[in-house]
């Protein structure tokens, strides 16, 4: 009894999964599409395809079941919705300037027997607004503790907020989420509390919003803070290695917020103070050995005072050539080099003239051997007149 009752089930299974069976024909007529995500204000393309259209047209409908396109025919008067492609096997449309209200499930239908449909869920991302920082009112004092708050609205889904000070991450409270009155977007907020130091003076406290709609773009707000702190100072000599007879300036370089406004100079073992003024330099027009000693500079602002020290040792007059002597040495070297070049030129020129003068004298000697001079010519002429037979030449 068991075997005959199982036979109809096996036959049914074979029919359903056989290639070219009736179920495969139904799958060929089933349209398909895909879910889409778009940023508010952007453009989304809805694409519906079918393999076997059975001489029927495809249709797109919005979440309110209003027909948008039936084949290539527009059904809803909305200029944002445009036809991209219409063939018996595909119907694609685009929706531009997408709003949050456009979010929902869109339906692609094909009117076969029976009617077949496919769903496309369109998700619209709400772009978060630029964050706003609150809580900073005025300058802070060193070691004060302050709390700053940050808020951003309009994100969908809810965005996340992060804090940093310069390049350093600050660990704030977890992001708080509140739904906006429109029921679609969210307002997020966060707070951070930290203690300030003098290094934080002029630092930027940055609140950044992170959201997938930004696609990696930075959306942040910075709050620059001012920190008041007690001054510091150091003494810098000019020149660095003072010698007897030189002019010396001791610069008291104060740093603080606010900047020190008063400087008092003292020398250990002497009273009263050497100088009390707004200028920070102590001047020695002509150094003496008696100026050696330890000097103190007190820099004062309304945040407090700081005293720096410098020990002055006046050295003997410098044996090192001055800059003018170095200059003269350079000029002397240049002149010596020029004289050296001139001497070489004169030597070559003299050699050249000697060689050419010797050539000239040689040519002159050859000329005197070939042609008699005037005295010889005269004697020859007289000998010719006295007798043709006796021909004598006399060379004088």
Q: How many domains does the chain have?
A: 3
Q: Is 250 helix (H, G, I), strand (E, B) or coil?
A: strand
Residue partners of 178: CB distance under 8 A and separation at least 6? 186, 187, 188, 189
| CATH value at residue 201 | 2.60.40.10
Q: Is residue 162 a part of any domain in this protein?
A: yes
Same domain, 118 and 138: no
Whether this model's pTM surpasses 0.75: no
* Three-class secondary structure of residue 162 per DSSP: strand
**Is residue 318 in some structural domain?**
no
**pLDDT for res 320:** 52
One domain for residues 188 and 174: yes
- Residue 346 within any structural domain of the chain: no
41 inside domain: yes
Beta carbons of 329 and 321 less than 8 angstroms apart: yes
- 297 falls within a domain: yes
Q: Are both 183 and 217 inside the same structural domain?
A: yes
d(CA 288, CA 267): 15
**Is 331 within a domain?**
no
In angstroms and rounded to an integer, the radius of gyration of the C-alpha atoms of the chain is 53
- Interatomic CA distance for residues 287 and 244, integer angstroms: 5
CA 76 to chain centroid, in Å, comes to: 50
Backbone φ and ψ for 239, nearest 5 degrees, come out as -75, 165
Q: Indicate whether 362 belongs to any domain.
A: no
263 and 295 share one domain: yes
Residue-by-residue pLDDT tens, the chain, 396 positions: 344 444 333 333 333 333 333 333 457 899 999 999 999 999 999 999 999 988 899 999 999 999 999 999 999 999 999 999 999 999 999 999 999 999 999 999 999 888 999 999 999 999 999 999 999 999 999 999 999 999 999 999 999 999 999 889 999 999 999 999 999 999 999 999 999 999 999 999 999 999 999 998 999 999 999 999 999 999 999 999 999 999 999 999 999 999 999 999 999 988 778 876 667 899 999 999 999 999 999 999 999 999 999 999 998 886 655 556 677 778 888 999 999 999 999 898 888 888 776 655 455 544 544 444 444 433 343 444 444 444 343 332
Distance between CA 247 and CA 385 in Å, rounded? 106
Q: Of 210, 229, 248, which one is at a domain's C-terminal end?
A: 229
Strand partners, 44: 95
Residues 225 and 139 in one domain: yes
Whether residue 187 is found in the same domain as residue 237: no
The contacts found for 112-120 with CB under 8 angstroms, 24 or more apart, are 112/29, 112/54, 112/56, 116/29, 116/30, 116/31, 117/31, 118/30, 118/31, 118/32, 118/33, 118/48, 119/33, 120/33, 120/34, 120/35, 120/36, 120/46, 120/48
Identify the domain containing residue 156 by its residue range. Answer: 132-229
Residue finishing a domain among 74, 99, 125: 125
Mapped onto helix, strand or coil, the DSSP state of residue 125 is strand
Q: Are residues 264 and 188 in the same domain?
A: no
Last residue of a domain, one of 193, 214, 229: 229
Cβ–Cβ under 8 Å, residues 43 and 98: yes
Note whether 176 and 224 are same-domain residues. yes
Q: Are residues 175 and 225 in the same domain?
A: yes
Q: Could you tell me if 258 and 275 lie in one domain? A: yes
Residues 137 and 225 in one domain: yes
240 and 166 within one domain: no
């Amino acid at each position: 009894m068991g075997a005959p009752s199982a036979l109809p089930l096996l036959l049914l299974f074979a029919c359903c999964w056989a290639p070219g069976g009736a179920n495969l024909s139904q799958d060929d007529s089933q349209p398909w599409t895909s879910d889409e995500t778009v940023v508010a204000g952007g453009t989304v393309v809805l694409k519906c395809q079918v393999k076997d259209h059975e001489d029927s047209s495809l249709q797109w409908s919005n979440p309110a079941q209003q027909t948008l396109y039936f084949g290539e025919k527009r059904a809803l008067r909305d200029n944002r919705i445009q036809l991209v492609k219409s063939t018996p096997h595909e119907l694609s449309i685009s929706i531009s300037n997408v709003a949050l209200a456009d979010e929902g499930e869109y339906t692609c239908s094909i009117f076969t027997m029976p009617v077949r449909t496919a769903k496309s869920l369109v998700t619209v991302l709400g772009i978060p607004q630029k964050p706003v920082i609150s809580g900073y009112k005025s300058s802070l004092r060193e070691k004060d503790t302050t709390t700053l708050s940050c808020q951003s609205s309009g994100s969908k889904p809810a965005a996340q907020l992060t804090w940093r000070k310069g390049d350093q991450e600050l660990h704030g409270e977890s992001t708080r989420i509140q739904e906006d009155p429109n029921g679609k977007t969210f307002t997020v907020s966060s707070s951070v509390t930290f203690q300030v130091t003098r290094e934080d003076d002029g630092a930027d406290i940055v609140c950044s919003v992170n959201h997938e709609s930004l696609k990696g773009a930075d959306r942040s707000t910075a709050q620059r803070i001012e920190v008041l702190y007690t001054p510091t100072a150091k003494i810098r000599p000019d020149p660095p290695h003072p010698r007897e007879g030189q002019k010396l300036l001791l610069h008291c370089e104060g740093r603080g917020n606010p900047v020190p406004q008063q400087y008092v100079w003292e020398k250990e073992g002497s009273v009263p103070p050497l100088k009390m003024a707004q200028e920070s330099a102590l001047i020695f027009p002509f150094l003496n050995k008696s100026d050696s000693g330890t000097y103190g500079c007190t820099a004062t602002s309304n945040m407090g005072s700081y005293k720096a020290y410098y020990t002055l040792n006046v050295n003997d007059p410098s044996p090192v050539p001055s800059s003018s002597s170095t200059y003269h040495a350079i000029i002397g070297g240049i002149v010596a080099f020029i004289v050296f070049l001139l001497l070489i030129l004169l030597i070559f020129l003299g050699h050249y003239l000697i060689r050419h003068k010797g050539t000239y004298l040689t040519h002159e000697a050859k000329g005197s051997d070939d042609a008699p001079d005037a005295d010889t010519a005269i004697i020859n002429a007289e000998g010719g007149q006295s007798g043709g037979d006796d021909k004598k030449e006399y060379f004088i």
